[in-house]
Amino acid sequence: MAEVRNKGRIALLAVSILLVFAGIATRLVFLHLYPADWVLEPIKKGRTFQWKPIGQRGRIVDRNGEILAMDLAAYHVFVDPKYIAEHGDAEAVCRYLAEEFRLSPAELEAKLRNTTRQYVRIKKHVPGHQLKRFERKAFGVIYTPVAAGGEDETPIYLRGVGLEEAPIRNYPKGPLMAHVVGFANAEGVGSAGVEQRMNEYLRGKEGLRVSQRDGRRREIYSTRTIDIDPEDGANVELTLDQQIQYVTENAIEKMCRDFHAKAGWAIVQRVRTGEILAMASFPTYDLNRYGKAPAEWRRNRAIAFNYEPGSTMKAGVIAAALDHQIVTETDMVDCENGYWVYGGKALRDSHGEGEISVADVIKFSSNIGTAKIALQMGNQLLYDSLKKFHFGTRLGLGLPGEEAGIFYSPKHWSKISITRIGMGHEIGVTALQVVSMMSAIAFNGVQMKPMLIKRVTAPDGTVLLEYEPEKLGSPIRPATARRMQKLLARVTEKGGTGTKARVEGYSVAGKTGTAQKIKPAAEGGGYYAKNFISSFVGFLPVENPEICIIVVADDPGEYTESGRKIKYYGGTVCGPTFREIAEFAVRYLRISPEGSRVYVARPES
């Protein structure tokens, strides 16, 4: 009987065990094959991660491919106070990070004490090369401190410290071309210059990766479900040349220092294509520290500063008068020995002349002579002629902040306006407009659209956008332009106002300008008696013009003991600067005195 009872118990036990295992097996089968959402969700949530790799912002390069702006690898350093409190060493984190990044230990400690937070950024945009002592790990970083003797200490695992990728915009050339290149802000949005203008092309596109991690927080590649690569931004190639730009920037800085000018700016343009080879403005600033520069320093005066050009305007007025055959270059004009009253207002010349030819009116820069020629033209013709040179209109360079100048129609003119506009007053222009006018004279009457951006290329080399030289118009006939080239060449010859702009071995044509500055309405309006805008605009070689340069100085000059202002004339202040830039440019661009591109240099024997 006992045997039978035992057999029953054994069978019962066996069945029970089988049932238990069958139950576990069934549960396992259901868990694996038909898992419930509440089981799956937390696991999925813990494993799945989404990452948005950042596309680099495109580069800005000069005409020779020299990098002017580029993205550089940088990181935000952050801590996870909650994780550090649970698994890490807050004291070590505080000590080492404060030491490495020169942070206040007290502040850092306070941040780490807030254990409700899981992300606290402690240092922004740290360049990659400054993080060589850090090695990224899944739950923290391995940091190798430096001992007092300069040797490396034993690496230490700082849990809860992370490095987050955050590329920074870097400008390796510093202040070079600052006003043209502009800058992108911390969010990577172009905020000035080409960076702003070409933001649509420059900015990169984020990618997207959705994948899962293993227990050590490493990605399991085979679980990557979405993998969209980031797209880098396009590269923008400028027409500027860094060497000419450097010389131009140095030259205007020297001019401002030598002649105590408040500011100076200059443009170098290729006559035949309208390409801008250099565009400089002083004071300037370092693009890597743009936030520290005053707003006034960040202004690109070459295109964003309206000023009364003074006598440089005479080139355009007399060109128009010759073009419409109002006068010929040999016609005589009475310059009234330097003092003439018209419309109840006196007009003076700095050097009184009697009766001189139209050619000499340009050479000696006679205000009275030009005013009389303008009067012969009449209001409408003068207005129309200058409009053909695109005064009062934006030239479409495309940089933000480009001014159109101020040029009212004749219905707003007073009786004497025509005499003042002829000599470059009562008209507001930008340096770009004046250099464009002079380039038109140099290029046989053809005005080219100023070009600053050459092309935009995708990272794979595909050209997305290409600018070609574009004709703006023909403000004067070729024959007139050629006559004007000869007349303007006399300005730099002996007796002219621009002799200091002469370049050894080359014939230079140009025009000086010295205009009194406008007094703001708050100060009573009118003009300052002793504050001037001085300029020189010219081109070379006259026989076959290749480059056109304008140099402008804001309020140059110095006072003598008697209170007289000296050294402020355009020829005196801007002439030598023009020469310095031109001397370099013709050699660098290998322009021969005849305008052809040649030569080999050898040492003097």
Partner 1 sequence: MAATRKKKKKKNHVQVPFPILLANVLVLVAVMGLSYMGLSSRCDALGKEIKQKEATLATGQKRLVNEQDRWSYITSPANLQRAIKKHRLNMVMPRENQIVRVRYQMADSKDYVGL
What's the first-to-final CA gap in the chain, in angstroms?
Answer: 134
Select 34 or 221, whichever has its Cβ closest to partner 1.
221
| 270 in Cβ contact with 92 (< 8 Å) | no
| Residue 557 three-state SS | coil
CB of 343 to partner 1, least distance (A): 49
In this structure, the number of other CB atoms found within 10 A of the CB of residue 319 comes to 28
CB of 181 to partner 1, least distance (A): 13
Among 51, 54, 72, 329, binds partner 1 (CB under 8 A): 72
Non-local CB neighbours of 602 within 8 Å, separated by 6+ positions: none
Q: Smallest Cα–Cα separation from 301: which of 553, 538, 68?
A: 553
CB of 67 to partner 1, least distance (A): 4
Select 129 or 494, whichever has its Cβ closest to partner 1.
129
Select 214 or 466, whichever has its Cβ closest to partner 1.
214
Select 67 or 98, whichever has its Cβ closest to partner 1.
67
597 lies in the binding site for partner 1 (CB under 8 A): yes
Q: Which stretch binds partner 1 (CB under 8 A): 376-384, 493-501, 550-558, 587-595?
A: 587-595
531 lies in the binding site for partner 1 (CB under 8 A): no
Nearest-Å Rg of the Cα atoms of the chain is 36
169 lies in the binding site for partner 1 (CB under 8 A): no
Non-local CB neighbours of 173 within 8 Å, separated by 6+ positions: 66, 67, 68, 242
589 lies in the binding site for partner 1 (CB under 8 A): no
Q: What is the DSSP string of 210-235?
A: EEEE-TTS-EEGGG--EEE--BPPPE
CB of 122 to partner 1, least distance (A): 22
Tally the C-alpha atoms within 13 A of residue 9's C-alpha that lie toward its C-beta: 6
Say how far apart CA 600 and CA 603 lie, in whole Å.
Answer: 10
CB of 70 to partner 1, least distance (A): 6
Among 55, 58, 60, 66, binds partner 1 (CB under 8 A): 66
Say how far apart CA 503 and CA 348 lie, in whole Å.
Answer: 31
242 lies in the binding site for partner 1 (CB under 8 A): yes
336 lies in the binding site for partner 1 (CB under 8 A): no
Among 96, 305, 383, 584, binds partner 1 (CB under 8 A): 584
Among 159, 169, 173, 372, binds partner 1 (CB under 8 A): 173
Say how far apart CA 11 and CA 7 lie, in whole Å.
Answer: 6
504 lies in the binding site for partner 1 (CB under 8 A): yes
- List, in sequence order, every beta strand (DSSP E) within 386-461: 447-448, 453-457
Q: Smallest Cα–Cα separation from 60: which of 187, 238, 205, 183?
A: 238
CB of 451 to partner 1, least distance (A): 22
Which residue ranges make up the site for partner 1 (CB under 8 A)? Answer: 66-67, 70-73, 128-129, 170, 172-174, 176, 218-222, 242-243, 246-247, 504-505, 583-584, 587-588, 590, 592, 594, 596-604
